[in-house]
Amino acid sequence: MQMTIRMAVGVAVAAAVVFGSARAADEKVPLKTELPKPMLAGTPKPIPANVPVEPELLNKRPDFMVPAGCVNLAKGKKVTASDKEPVVGELTLITDEDKSAEEGSYVELAAGKQWVQLDLGQTSEIHALLVWRFHSQKRVYHAVVVQVCDDADFIKDVRTVFNTDREGAQGLGVGKDLGFIENYQGQLIDTKGVKGRYVRLYSNGNTSNNMNHYIEVEAWGKAAK
CA 160/CA 148 separation, integer angstroms: 6
The three-state secondary structure class of 64 is coil
Q: How confident is the model at residue 32 (pLDDT cuts 50, 70, 90)?
A: very high
> What mean pLDDT is predicted for residues 173-189?
97
- Spatial neighbors of 225 by CB under 8 A, at least 6 apart, are 125
The three-state secondary structure class of 77 is coil
Question: 37-46, 98-107, 108-117: which has the highest mean pLDDT?
Answer: 108-117
- At 211, the amino acid letter reads M
The pLDDT assigned to 44 comes to: 75
Q: How confident is the model at residue 24 (pLDDT cuts 50, 70, 90)?
A: low
The string over 117-150, giving b where at least 16 C-beta atoms fall within 10 Å of a residue's C-beta and e elsewhere, is bbebeeebbbbbbbbbbbbbbbbbbbbbbbbbbb
pTM exceeding the 0.75 threshold for the entire prediction: yes
CB of 114 closer than 8 Å to CB of 202: yes
The pLDDT assigned to 25 comes to: 58
> What mean pLDDT is predicted for residues 87-105?
95
Mean confidence (pLDDT) of the chain: 90
CA 120/CA 196 separation, integer angstroms: 8
The pLDDT assigned to 18 comes to: 39
Residue 96 has pLDDT above 50, yes or no: yes
Residue 19 has pLDDT above 70, yes or no: no
Instruction: Classify residue 107 as exposed, middle or buried by CB count within 10 Å of its CB (0-12, 13-18, 19+).
Output: buried
The string over 170-179, giving b where at least 16 C-beta atoms fall within 10 Å of a residue's C-beta and e elsewhere, is bebeebebeb
Instruction: Classify residue 76 as exposed, middle or buried by CB count within 10 Å of its CB (0-12, 13-18, 19+).
Output: exposed
* Residue percentage of the chain with pLDDT more than 70: 89
